[in-house]
Chain A
Amino acid sequence: GQNIDQPTEMTATEGAIVQINCTYQTSGFNGLFWYQQHAGEAPTFLSYNVLDGLEEKGRFSSFLSRSKGYSYLLLKELQMKDSASYLCAVRSFNKFYFGSGTKLNVKP
Chain B
Amino acid sequence: DAMVIQNPRYQVTQFGKPVTLSCSQTLNHNVMYWYQQKSSQAPKLLFHYYDKDFNNEADTPDNFQSRRPNTSFCFLDIRSPGLGDAAMYLCATSRPDRDHNEQFFGPGTRLTVL
Which residues of A approach B to under 8 Å, CB–CB?
Answer: 4, 30-31, 33, 40-45, 48, 87, 89, 91, 94-101, 103
Question: What residues of chain A lie closer than 8 Å to B45, measured between beta carbons?
Answer: 95-97
Q: List 28 A-B contacts (CB under 8 A).
A: A4-B42, A30-B101, A33-B102, A40-B88, A41-B107, A41-B108, A42-B90, A43-B43, A43-B90, A43-B103, A45-B102, A45-B103, A87-B43, A89-B103, A91-B101, A94-B31, A94-B48, A94-B50, A94-B94, A95-B45, A96-B94, A97-B45, A98-B42, A98-B43, A99-B42, A100-B42, A101-B40, A103-B40
The count of chain B contact residues (Cβ–Cβ below 8 Å) is 26
- With known contacts A94-B94, A100-B41, A43–B101 Cβ distance under 8 A: no
Determine how close the nearest CB of chain A comes to the CB of B66; give it in whole angstroms: 15
The residues in B between 75 and 100 inclusive whose CB is less than 8 angstroms from any CB of A are 88, 90, 92, 94, 96, 100
CA distance A40 to B90 in the complex (A): 11
- Nearest to B49 among chain A residues (CB) is A94
Residues B19-59 near A (CB distance < 8 A): 31, 33, 40-45, 48, 50, 55
B31 contact set on A, CB distance < 8 A: 94
Q: Given A94-B48, A94-B96 in contact, is the A31-B101 Cβ separation under 8 Å? A: yes
Min CB–CB distance A8 → chain B (angstroms) = 8
Most buried by A among B88, B103, B110: B103
A30 to B96 CA separation, bound complex (whole angstroms): 11
Bound Cα distance from A101 to B88, whole angstroms = 15
A98 to B55, CA, bound (A): 18
